[in-house]
A and B are shown apart, each in its own frame.
Chain A
Amino acid sequence: QSALTQPASVSGSPGQSITISCTGTSSDVGAYHYVSWYQQHPGKAPKLMIYGVNNRPSGVSNRFSGSKSGNTASLTISGLQAEDEADYYCSSYTSSASYVFGTGTKVTVL
């Protein structure tokens, strides 16, 4: 099972919006609604930010939103803040009864 493909890095200025893509296949992202996004700060455990493609867990800012089109899912961060600087990973259930993470994207706030 190959990792989902994400851009290595994305950057933006405070207040701007950025979008991170996550490209899979018709056997994972394209097949199911089970796409999640995680935020990871250096030295910390990942934190769930989006589940079910576009749902936010309680306590996650509404500046984070998710979507999906075909085999590609996306995470949008609006009103970018310094605290959003972190690594972000997408994930998906797969048709082979396994689970796969994305390659990860480093978000830099300029």
Chain B
Amino acid sequence: QLQLQESGSGLVKPSETLSLTCTISGGSISSLDYYWGWIRQPPGKGLEWIGSFYYRGSTYYSPSLKSRLTISVDTSKNQLSLRLRSVTAADTAVYYCARQRNVGWGRMDWFDPWGQGTLVTVSS
């Protein structure tokens, strides 16, 4: 059974870099059938797509975060990583990683399953 687990710093200072890791078990991050994505949810608010990574090298980022964002993978550890630079209080959110269906032609579809999420607070 595929499982995803987010980990990383729960508290980040403004202007610093938020770093998270998603460890995948029960499946391979090298699968050609799936992307691996990050989604966030500010407290009391809705879901926001952050970006998605495909093993063959395609990475897609939210236009609103693209200038501050890097998503990468470590295939030897079966891990997905997120780095968001120059954070502000607006980046405070629960961050989820999830597997995303690859439907070909660079297109992405549904997310399933999701990790349990990790709360990151940006505060001095």
Interface residue ranges, A against B (CB under 8 Å): 1, 3, 32, 34, 36, 38, 45-48, 51-52, 57, 89, 91, 93, 96-104
The listed residue with most B CB atoms (<10 A of its CB), out of A1, A32, A93, is A93
- Residues of B contacting A: mostly: strand
Identify the closest chain A residue to B46 (Cβ): A104
The interface residues of chain B lying within 8 Å CB-to-CB of A51 are: 101, 109-110, 112
Interface residue? B52 (CB, 8 A): yes
In the complex, how many angstroms separate the beta carbon of B18 from the nearest chain A beta carbon?
A: 19
Interface residue? B62 (CB, 8 A): yes
Measured CA separation A99–B47 after assembly (Å): 11
Q: Which of B39, B46, B61, B115 contacts A3 (CB 8 A)?
A: B46
Interface residue ranges, B against A (CB under 8 Å): 37, 39, 46-49, 52, 60-64, 96, 100-101, 103, 106-117
The interface residues of chain B lying within 8 Å CB-to-CB of A3 are: 46
The interface residues of chain B lying within 8 Å CB-to-CB of A100 are: 49
Q: Which of A34, A45, A48 contacts B108 (CB 8 A)?
A: A34
Contact status B115-A45, CB under 8 Å: yes
